[in-house]
Amino acid sequence: MPPDALTQLSEEERLFFDSTRRFAEETVAPLVRSMDDAQQFAPGLVQQLFELGLLAIEVPEKLGGAGGSFFDAVLAIEALSTVDPAVAVVVDVHNTLVINALRRWATPEQQQRLLPRLAANTVGAYALSEAGAGSDAFALQTRAVASGSGYRLTGRKLWISNAREAGLFMVFATLDPAARYRGITAFMVEAGTPGFTVGRKEDKLGIRASSTCELIFEDCVIPADAVVGEPGKGYKIAIETLNEGRIGIGAQMLGLAEGAWGHTVRYARQRRQFGKAIAEFQAVQFALAQMQTEIEAARLLVYNAARLRDSGQPFVREAAMAKLFASQAAERVASQCVEVFGGNGFVRDYPAEKYYRDAKIGAIYEGTSNMQLATIAKMALHQ
């Protein structure tokens, strides 16, 4: 993080960011290449995230968490993403989607039962998307049918982050497909429940260590107290949590851009052509200036949206702007990183190509760029 950005953080926030960044650089960085090749996290890494409190940031202290803010979660996602956005995914989904949804919508009894586990040793996953329900999320077809004292789930989910690591899944299913969004209900489903299996892991372009899998429900019976919120109100939970989650993706893309920028500057100072470092050429200097400008603009958007959310002010438009711009900036910065590295930027021996691969997903998941533009335009026209 550039020195000028530190003025936007309190001393406590700066220390938290620095300690998380230090963990990423000292512990995660040596594992990045092998995890990307193996398409899975190194053994024990997720447990280290728990031990550092990075998977319990907003869980109240009385329930075993850190009692931190949403902004703290955003800082953690940013700091981890500077080294490996794939590792940041597990922290992002777990905190900004699953835990936030439970804190707002779960009953006190559900919070007492679930949040201590999510704070200590159980990863959470968020299962909304389906083959025919991506941007049109409420076209989902996974069914929940009343059965005895509970429900029976049948259907398939696709592109579910954290699926391999998770022990608890927030699953969205419909009580009545004809009712569209009015039938959607949120359920907490335990890994290993009979009738529930984690299917094929996607072979992805980027963030490859992060698991993205299909979920299969075949007459999966769950109890009535698995419902989060009220039956038929799952759409409201999804909308509100995804609005927050988009800020998290903005932070992920911001951190990615910062990481790519840092490697670019170091390489430009070391690489020599025509008798001098390429950082001395004006064309390279202008490229670095453009990169840093876009990073700072993305940071201001992301931080502003997170601060608005924490202060209870409207933030939906700002969240959409943050995700839209940060994902665009990440692609441009990562692309420029590859160009400054030249031929070395195109091979796996150097970090540039991975940042480039990882950047593309920012414009797709948790709401495509077109969906963010639609949100911004709609709100602008109704001011």
Q: Which CATH number characterizes residue 102's domain?
A: 1.10.540.10
Report the alpha-carbon distance of residue 308 to residue 139 in Å, rounded.
31
Taking only the tens place, the pLDDT of each residue in 271-308 is 999 999 999 999 999 999 999 999 999 999 999 999 99
- Rounded CA-CA distance 78/84 in Å is 10
Report percent pLDDT > 70 for the chain: 98
The answer to whether residues 210 and 256 belong to one domain is: no
For the record, the structure tokens of 87 come out as 């590792």
- Compute the CA torsion angle 170, 175, 181, 182 (nearest 10 deg): -120
Same domain, 54 and 165: no
CATH code at position 132? 2.40.110.10
Domain final residue pick, 122, 150, 185: 122
First to last CA, the chain: 35
What Å distances lie between residue 25 and 20, 77, 142, 197, 259, CA to CA? 9, 14, 41, 35, 10
Across residues 147-158, what is the average pLDDT?
Answer: 95
Q: Are 125 and 161 contacting, i.e. CB atoms less than 8 angstroms apart?
A: yes
- Selection from 136-145, 171-180, 352-361 with the highest mean pLDDT: 352-361
129-136's contacts with Cβ under 8 Å and 24+ in sequence apart are 129/157, 129/158, 129/159, 129/160, 130/155, 130/156, 130/157, 130/158, 131/156, 131/158, 134/159, 135/367, 135/368, 135/370, 135/371
Q: Above 80 in pLDDT, residue 65?
A: yes
Same domain, 116 and 132: no
Q: Give yes or no: residues 174 and 214 share one domain.
A: yes
- Find the helix packing angle between 234-270 and 85-92, rounded to 10°: 160
Across-strand partners of 154? 143
Q: Is the pLDDT of residue 358 over 80?
A: yes
12 has a pLDDT exceeding 70: yes
Q: For residues 87 and 80, is the Cβ–Cβ distance under 8 A?
A: yes
- Given a contact cutoff of 8 angstroms between Cβ atoms, the answer to whether 198 and 215 are in contact is yes
Q: How many domains does the structure of the chain reveal?
A: 3
Q: Which domain holds residue 36?
A: 3-122
**100 and 19 both lie in a single domain:** yes
User: By the 8 A CB rule, do 120 and 50 touch?
Assistant: yes
Rounded to whole angstroms, what are the CA distances from 194 to 113, 189, 226, 242? 21, 11, 15, 29
Percent of the chain's residues with pLDDT above 90: 93
Question: What is the tens place of the pLDDT at every residue in 218-250?
Answer: 999 999 999 999 999 999 999 999 999 999 999
Question: What residues are labeled active site?
Answer: 366
Say if residue 276 is in the same domain as residue 307.
yes
Q: Which of 206, 232, 258 is the last residue of a domain?
A: 232
Average pLDDT score over residue span 77-101: 98
pTM (global) more than 0.75: yes
Task: Give the C-alpha distances (Å, rounded to integers) separating 244 from 105, 126, 305, 314, 373.
Answer: 14, 13, 9, 11, 16
Sign of CA dihedral 7, 8, 10, 14: negative
Residues 218 and 290 in one domain: no
Q: CB 30: neighbour CB atoms within 10 A?
A: 11
